[in-house]
Structures are given as structure tokens and as C-alpha cells.
Chain A
Amino acid sequence: MGRTLAEKVWDDHVVRRAEGEPDLLFIDLHLLHEVTSPQAFDGLRKSGRKVRRLDLTIATEDHNTPTLDIDKPIADPVSRIQLETLRKNAADFGVRLHPLGDVEQGVVHVVGPQLGLTQPGTTVVCGDSHTSTHGAFGALAFGIGTSQVEHVLATQTLPMSRPKTMAITVNGELPDGVTAKDLILAIIAKIGTGGGQGYVLEYRGEAIEKLSMESRMTICNMSIEAGARAGMIAPDETTFAYLQGRPHAPEGADWDAAVEYWKTLRTDEDAEFDAEVVIDATELAPFVTWGTNPGQGAPLSASVPDPASYEDASERFAAEKALEYMGLEAGQPLRSIKVDTVFVGSCTNGRIEDLRAAAEIVKDRKVADGVRMLVVPGSARVGLQAVSEGLDVVFKDAGAEWRHAGCSMCLGMNPDQLAPGERSASTSNRNFEGRQGKGGRTHLVSPQVAAATAVLGHLASPADLSAADTRTPAGV
């Protein structure tokens, strides 16, 4: 019988297989950042171990880093200690590090792909659940805990039980104005936050094949919000074109050999998935969340659901709690929800295409009175590219704040946070209670919806802007 993409990549990395034991998997790329690595390096020191494969390890600073005044000492002493700890660990053990201020610094899941380190058929791990992002290249990529970080540092392997596989087939084409973010939010709403538990998801079908690499990363990034550790997309010409010429992409004969291998990384016709979900792309529309988990979402044109409409008692209770926390009424149109803050950035939507999409919408328009719009590039390189295209000026002219790269308000470990009761439209990945700051309320949206929301001050799509004629002609 044929094998799925995930099974092929898995099988190619089995170092040891024994009855009654998890497989021992080789790890091709280990990404590190400051938050989940200090205790792992401590463990290595205590046991007198070294990093086994420095040539497969790379670190950057992202979660704690400020997005303003990055040339000054970091104000928060606890954040500063954590960053200094990573710098000391990288120096002591010989790990390549891109610290704050370095041109290759950025959100770890933006940095790996842009350097060309994330490649088809590789295994990628990081002490961060959004490592699933790298699956967009046909890599088997998953988040790990700190004990596993230490394990990979010491052995370059992980004992893992073979996951089940689930196909998410998206037929047809996405309608105009509907993005990868809308699609993944709709998928999570359909299968639920636990729907992918125990599975590797493979996104396939016409709508997926037509997506750019950056959009594919948005999709795979949020696999974890459906409970799946990993999501994958088979590599194709789009993938190869993205990789060719990047700093760590193979060259010459190595490139040819790599592409030949990468072309074999497709689910065989006669392979069987353990589960399959089918989505009709043509029925989708801009999608936003109303609740406190990423599965609590609906089309922007809908209204806040009535918790009483849920048959399942636990879902009903969760919806009641969510509305209470979010300060929303059942039946209220989603478009009527006013926001205080708009955040464009994160490993979900902080790449150049995302910034271009948001800039196109706010160009010659103004961010609504009383709304703060924060634009945070996913990496220093993305920031430089945006500046070279003049996007920073577009954002600033519209009244938005243009910042330096980092995780920023996605999880509020740096000063970029919501105040209690403040409401945001955010292009990030989690709307958990307090995620963006204590008492903060988050609506997950695409960059396009974020930008339109910033202009109108309430949840909105770009189509609402044309109707409202908010654009000021140039020079006026």
C-alpha cells in the first residue's frame, strides 16, 4: 500500500525502530529562542553534555524583544536576563545566534524559511507550538517542550510515537477577498480545537495548490490550534521557486539531487489517511473569531452565536464563558464590534505578503480615531523589505505605528500588550483569555480584515471600505 507524505518523511528519519518502543527520529533542524531553552542548556551543563550537532542548530531572539528602542538596554530586567541567558548559552556551547539588532533576527518561524533552512522532507523542531509553520514546505515540523529541547540538543533525535494522518482536502478556488487565514480559521471552527489531536494534517486540493508559500505557512502555522502537532503541504514548483537562491538552499548538483528527492514527497494515490475532512473553498468568506479559543469563529457577516444553540453542554458552557469574557451579546452582528487596537504581525501573518496586503488597504486612508494600529514585521529582513517598498511610510501616513521585528503583541511578553478590557483585531493565532495582555479581548482576523477594521474602527472587510468610500485622493 502507498504511503502519505507524512509517513514518507517519518520513515526517512527513523534512526531506530523496536517493538513496543517509540521510533527514534533524527532531527534535521533545531530552532531555538530565549523562552524555552534556558532550562534545557542548564540540563546539559548539569550532566556534562554538549550540543551534538551545532551545524543543525540555530537560535534567535523573538518572544521577549522590544519593538521600540531596540538600540537601548532592555527596560524589563527579567526579559533582559532571559535574553542575556540565551546569549551566554549560545556563546558557551557554540550555537549560531541572531540576537536583537542582527539583520537575521526575527520570529523563529519566519527566520528559518527565509534563510532557506526549512526544506522539504526535513524534520524541524523548536520549543514552540507554531513550529507547525514549517510544514508548508513538506517538512515534518512540530513544537516540543523544554525536556525535548534538551534531548535534541544532546542527541539530535527524539523518541516519538507515530502519529495518525488526516487529509484536509480543500476543493475549488478561494473567492476573491478570501485569504489563507480565513480558510484556516474556518477549518478550525469546523473540526474544533481538539479535532486534530494525535494527527498530522495534510492540507491538499486545488485551493491549497494555488496558495503562495507565505499563505501556506499561515495555514500550517495554525494546525496546532486544531490540536494537531504538525500540518503539511506537499512540495511543488511553488516551493522550489521560493527556495532557490536562498542562503541555505542547496546549489548546483546538490540542488538537482534535492529537487529529485523533493518531487517524491507526495502522498501516493493508493495511500490511506486515518481520517479525511473535505472543505469547499468556494463557500468561504472572511472569517473572524468571537470567542476565547480559535475554534470559536464565524464568517464576518454572521452574528455572535447564542450559547443556548449549542447541544453539547460543555460547548454551551464554553460559549457562555467566552461571551462573558469578551463582553459580547448573543445575536450582535460581528461587524458591529468596535476595536481599540489592531495588530498586524506574528508567525501567522507577519511576512511581506501580509504587510503588502494590509498596506494596500490603508494606503491613502486613515486609521479610525481612537484606534491604535501596530504593524510588526515578522523578521528584521521582512522589515527591511517593507521599507524598501515604502510600506512603512504607507502605514505611518495612515496613522499606524511601524515597529521592529518580534513576536510582540501576539503573546505580550514584551511591552506590546492590551490593557484590561481593551479589544483587538489581531492577525495572530490565539484568542485565549489574557493572551495579548491581562483582561485583553482578541478577535483573530486576516491582515486584510485587520487593515479594514483599523480604518472603520469596527470588524470589517475591505469590501466594506469601498462601500464607505474612505479613501482620500492622493495629494488632498
Chain B
Amino acid sequence: MEAFTTHTGRAVPLRRSNVDTDQIIPAHWLKKVTRDGFEDGLFEAWRKDASFVLNQPERQGATVLVAGPDFGTGSSREHAVWALQNYGFKAVISSRFADIFRGNSLKNGLLTVVLEQKIVDALMELAEKDPQAEITVDLVAREVRAEGVTASFELDENSRWRLLNGLDDISITLQNEADIAAYEAKRPVFKPQTIQI
């Protein structure tokens, strides 16, 4: 995973709640067997509308998405995270994220930042008013900074440590191989098996 320390970029204000994963990346894109090449599928249906915020020339190259509450609801497709990253987003700010989407984002180095709705509203207004306004998402200081806004955010220490160092989860877990083997040795015999080994 790519490490995330701090990022500064222009923002895209997406004033919608309940942005579900079918909107972020429609199902027909899920037939791909790679982790890249999803950028054109991001918000595919909405992008057909010329006035959609992502189509505005002044939003090109923006890297921070500011969205309404309950972002990423619905399916477990990690493709939603890959699509946002392939497009160029480094961070998403919302007052509430769906659990699975959030987990997926943090495992890929896309920082999802939870802020109070009134702060999200302030960032949304700033981004709508001034497309050139920059937002800094600082994971080291656990802080979001923009013109007129300084807000700290929560992220559990373990996730933060993994993100700051770009650590591979599987390697970390395998350091506890002995614990896994010990657990396996004492599992009840009545537990189901898919094949006999």
C-alpha cells in the first residue's frame, strides 16, 4: 500500500447524501480482473450530465472529494476505492462513511476523513465558491486545513500507523503465525470443512 502522510489539493464538492457504490462504480465495470483502469467508470452515470461537478473544467486535477453523509453505502466492491484512486482522488471527506467502504479505503491508502457535518458544510461552501481553494489533509497532525477551517479528525492509532508507513496487512498478520497455528490446533472437530484434507 502507498503511504499517506499529508496531502494538499483542490476539492470537488459533491452535495449528495447516500452516494452508493453503484454510483461510484457501476456493476458492469466489476468484470475487470485488474486493480486499475477504473477511472472512466467513476460516477459514470452522473458524468453523462455535462453540468455534473466532475465535468466542470475548473475541477480537473482536483484530488480531494467533499461529499454528503453516508458516502459509500451498498456493496463491498473495493473497485469503488480503486475508481476514486485511479481518477486521482487522494482523500474523501464526509460526516459519515459506510463501514465496508471505509475499511477498503484505508487498506488502499485512500484517506477517508470523518468530520462534523457543519465542518463538511463549510468545506463544501468553500469549494463551491472558489474552485482554486486548496484543502490540506494532514494525517501526521490528524488535521484538515483550508481557508477559514482548521479541524482535527479521529482515526484509530493502528490504522494511522499502517497508513503513515504504507504497511502490508498480510505481512503484519503473518508475524503472528504461531498464534494462528495455536488457535487452529484447538478448533472443535465439528466445525464444517469444504473439502477433506
Q: A-side interface residues toward B, CB under 8 Å?
A: 15-16, 20-22, 24, 26, 28-29, 35-36, 38-39, 42, 47, 49, 53-58, 63-64, 76, 78-79, 81-82, 85, 96, 116-117, 119, 122, 127-129, 131, 142-148, 150-151, 154-157, 159, 161, 193-194, 197-198, 224, 227-229, 248-250, 254-255, 257-258, 261, 293, 314-315, 317-318, 321, 411-413, 430, 432-435, 438
A122 in complex: contacting residue of B73, B79, B157, B191, CB < 8 Å: B191
- B81 contacts the other chain (CB 8 A): yes
Q: Is the CB of B69 within 8 A of A15?
A: no
B2 within 8 A of A: no
Nearest-Cβ distance from residue B91 to partner chain A, whole angstroms:
18
> Is B192 a contact of A117 with CB atoms below 8 Å?
yes
A-chain residues with CB within 8 Å of residue B103 when the two chains form the complex: 144-145, 148
Report which of A15, A57, A151 forms a contact with B170, defined as CB distance below 8 A: A151
Instruction: Check if A229 sits within 8 Å of B194, measured CB to CB.
Output: no
Check A96 against B45 for contact (C-beta < 8 Å). no
Which among A63, A258, A434 has the highest number of chain B CB atoms within 10 Å?
A: A434
A13 to chain B, nearest CB (A): 8
Q: In the complex, what residues of A have CB within 8 A of residue B32's CB?
A: 78, 82
Q: Are B33 and A85 in contact (CB under 8 A)?
A: yes
Question: In angstroms, how far is the closest chain A Cβ from the Cβ of B21?
Answer: 8
In the complex, B51 has a CB within 8 A of chain A: no
How many B residues are at the interface, by size bracket? 35 or more
Decide yes or no: A155 and B179 within 8 Å by CB, A193-B73, A248-B192 being known contacts: no
Residue-wise, chain B 159-197 has the 8 Å CB interface mask toward A (1 for contact) of: 000000000011011101001100110011111111111
B156 touches A147 (CB 8 A): no
B47 interfacial contact with A, CB 8 Å:
no
Q: Is the pair B70, A227 in contact by a Cβ cutoff of 8 Å?
A: yes
Residues of B within 8 Å of A194, CB to CB, are 18, 69-70, 73, 96, 98
Chain A proximity mask over B38-74: 1 for CB below 8 Å, otherwise 0:
0000000100000000000000000000001110011
Inter-chain contact A434/B197, CB cutoff 8 Å: no
A-B residue pairs, 7 tightest by C-beta: A145-B104, A38-B33, A145-B78, A143-B76, A258-B190, A254-B190, A147-B107
B193 touching A248, Cβ below 8 Å = yes
The answer for the CA separation of A31 and B69 in the assembled complex, in Å, is: 31
B142 at the interface (CB under 8 A from A): no
> Which of B18, B45, B75, B187 has a CB less than 8 Å from the CB of A434?
B45
**Chain B neighbourhood of A81, CB < 8 A:** 31, 33
> With A64-B31, A122-B191, A128-B76 given, is the CB distance from A24 to B176 under 8 Å?
yes
Smallest CB–CB gap between A455 and chain B, Å? Answer: 30
Question: Which of A47, A321, A435 has the most C-beta atoms of chain B within 10 angstroms of its own C-beta?
Answer: A435
Q: Report chain B residues within 8 Å CB of A131.
A: 76
> What residues of A have a CB within 8 angstroms of the CB of B157 in the complex?
20
B186 → A minimal CB distance (Å): 10
Cβ contacts under 8 Å, A224 to chain B: 74, 100
Q: Which B residues lie at the A interface, using CB under 8 A?
A: 15-18, 20, 22-23, 26-28, 30-35, 45, 68-70, 73-79, 81, 96, 98-100, 103-104, 107-108, 156-158, 169-170, 172-174, 176, 179-180, 183-184, 187-197
* Contact, CB under 8 Å: A145 / B107: yes
Q: Is the CB of B194 within 8 A of A117?
A: yes
Residues of A within 8 A of B73 (CB): 193-194, 227, 293
- Chain A residues with CB under 8 A of B27: 63, 411-413, 435
Across the interface, A413 reaches (CB within 8 A) one of B30, B34, B99, namely B30
| A314 partner, pick from B35, B68, B169, B194, beta carbons under 8 A | B68
Q: Find chain B residues with CB under 8 A from A122 CB.
A: 191-192
A-B contact pairs, 15 of them (CB 8 A): A36-B77, A39-B35, A127-B76, A129-B100, A145-B104, A147-B169, A148-B103, A154-B170, A154-B173, A197-B96, A248-B193, A318-B16, A318-B18, A430-B74, A432-B20
- Within the complex, the shortest CB–CB distance from A54 to chain B, in Å, comes to 6
Closest chain-B Cβ to A198's Cβ sits at a distance in Å of 7
Further 12 A-B residue pairs, CB within 8 A, beyond A15-B176, A248-B194: A36-B77, A82-B31, A117-B192, A145-B78, A147-B104, A147-B169, A193-B18, A314-B17, A315-B17, A317-B15, A413-B28, A430-B75
